[in-house]
Amino acid sequence: MRDPGRRLRLLLVGGGHSHLEVLRRFGRGSLPNVELLMISAYAEHHYSGMVPGFLAGQYREESVRFLLEPLVSAMGGVFRQGSVASLHPADQAVVLTDGTRVPYDLVSFGVGSRPAGSQSAEVASHASVVKPMSRVVELHHRLLAAAKSESEGAGKAYHAGVVGGGAAGVEIVLAMDAFLRDEGRRRDLFLVEAGESILEGYPRGFRRLILRIFADRSIRVMTGTRVAGVEPEALLLAGGRRLEAHLTVWLTGAVGDPLFRTSGLAVDERGFMLVDDGLRSVTDQRVFGAGDCVTLENYPDTPKAGVYAVRQGPVLWESLRAAVLGGRPPRYRPQDGFLSILNTGDGKALLHYKGFIVHSRWAFSLKDWIDHRFMEKYKRLVPSSS
């Protein structure tokens, strides 16, 4: 039971899209008897929409990341860097990987997703990941090293690629290609996908266009190809083939953070926390969640995409407010379809919206404008930030 003299403890886990909006609204001061603590695995949060552009060399790192501590403190909260390892709803506490126990009255998760299989020892040791998103900095350093290794390689091609042919995998391999090309590095790039086609769920015309772009840039696309093992400099493909790979990025289908399965809260078959229309756990109304880490009980097929996480931000805030002040939580209904723009790393982007498809510089300019507007909305909350 909470001592009535004590302020209510609101814990936000993860610094992703929806929590940025909760922070912004908390900063307006309409919940005075609440203390807000954000715990996130990294001191920065890298905005996924601009991450491929960062890897391609189109943006500097400062342009694509938020520094969480200054932002949280400007909004009147406290930031702590740490990874939540487990959630204990009966005790109203989370435990961090360093063993610290952190109690809460209300907790909200915005911890994103993990690529399936990324926790296997082989993948963890020999492949790069971009989830959590801040791991992209390590990948960037590997690409920089690859560019410098030209002389040692005596002109030998650098073999690199991505496992997983979803939108993120497509953007990342194109970004790697663009970066290495601009650095003058000889390269042999690949995209491996276990399913029968890449970009599953996208219209056929869109997929055809992307395959043409891959062909023009000599990037090998291997569909229907399962990876059986990951070695330091190679992938073992099912059937016994060995694919040389100095660098592999693991970006297979999304699964939930294991912390949800062990919490005793209801999860779906991929381990995402099940939430109601008010973004509350269907098991415990003191636990909230938004973005990739949740599955909506009433809209289970909602895509795991940043645009949905952004739209959930205001709903999450209203739902948390209702939990603090009393009243009915809002009802979130995901929009039908969304504007999809993939950065192809060559100054152009491939845009798809309700059957309209175009690959152009204009589409990149639109994406660039949308992404900068998003960054600016939160960066300007911190007085001294650029």
Ligand X SMILES: Cc1cc2nc3c(=O)[nH]c(=O)nc-3n(C[C@H](O)[C@H](O)[C@H](O)COP(=O)(O)OP(=O)(O)OC[C@H]3O[C@@H](n4cnc5c(N)ncnc54)[C@H](O)[C@@H]3O)c2cc1C
Residues forming the site for ligand X (CB under 6 A): 13-18, 39-42, 45, 48-49, 51-52, 83-84, 110-112, 130, 132-134, 168, 171-172, 257, 291-293, 304-307, 309
Query: Of the two residues 328 and 354, which places its CB atom closer to ligand X in the complex?
Result: 354
Smallest distance, ligand X to C-beta of residue 43, A: 9
173: Cβ contacts below 8 Å, ≥ 6 apart: 161, 162, 189, 190, 191, 219, 249
For residue 360, the cross-strand partners are: 349
User: Distance between CA atoms of 242 and 234, rounded to whole angstroms?
Assistant: 7
Smallest distance, ligand X to C-beta of residue 221, A: 18
Smallest distance, ligand X to C-beta of residue 215, A: 22
Is beta strand 242-244 parallel, antiparallel or unpaired with respect to 234-237?
Answer: antiparallel
Query: Of the two residues 104 and 244, which places its CB atom closer to ligand X in the complex?
Result: 104
Query: Of the two residues 150 and 360, which places its CB atom closer to ligand X in the complex?
Result: 360
The burial class, CB within 10 Å (0-12 / 13-18 / 19+), for 81 is middle
Smallest distance, ligand X to C-beta of residue 188, A: 21
Query: Of the two residues 200 and 241, which places its CB atom closer to ligand X in the complex?
Result: 200
b or e along 120-157 (b: 16 or more beta carbons within 10 Å of the residue's beta carbon)?
eeebeebbbbbbbbbbbbebbeebeebbeebeeeeeee
Smallest distance, ligand X to C-beta of residue 168, A: 3
User: Distance between CA atoms of 24 and 121, rounded to whole angstroms?
Assistant: 39
Smallest distance, ligand X to C-beta of residue 235, A: 20
308 C-beta neighbours (distance < 10 Å), count: 22
Query: Of the two residues 228 and 370, which places its CB atom closer to ligand X in the complex?
Result: 370
Three-point CA angle 276, 279, 285, nearest 5°: 75
Query: Of the two residues 185 and 304, which places its CB atom closer to ligand X in the complex?
Result: 304
Query: Of the two residues 164 and 232, which places its CB atom closer to ligand X in the complex?
Result: 164
Smallest distance, ligand X to C-beta of residue 39, A: 6
User: Are residues 158 and 188 in contact, defined by beta-carbon separation less than 8 angstroms?
Assistant: yes
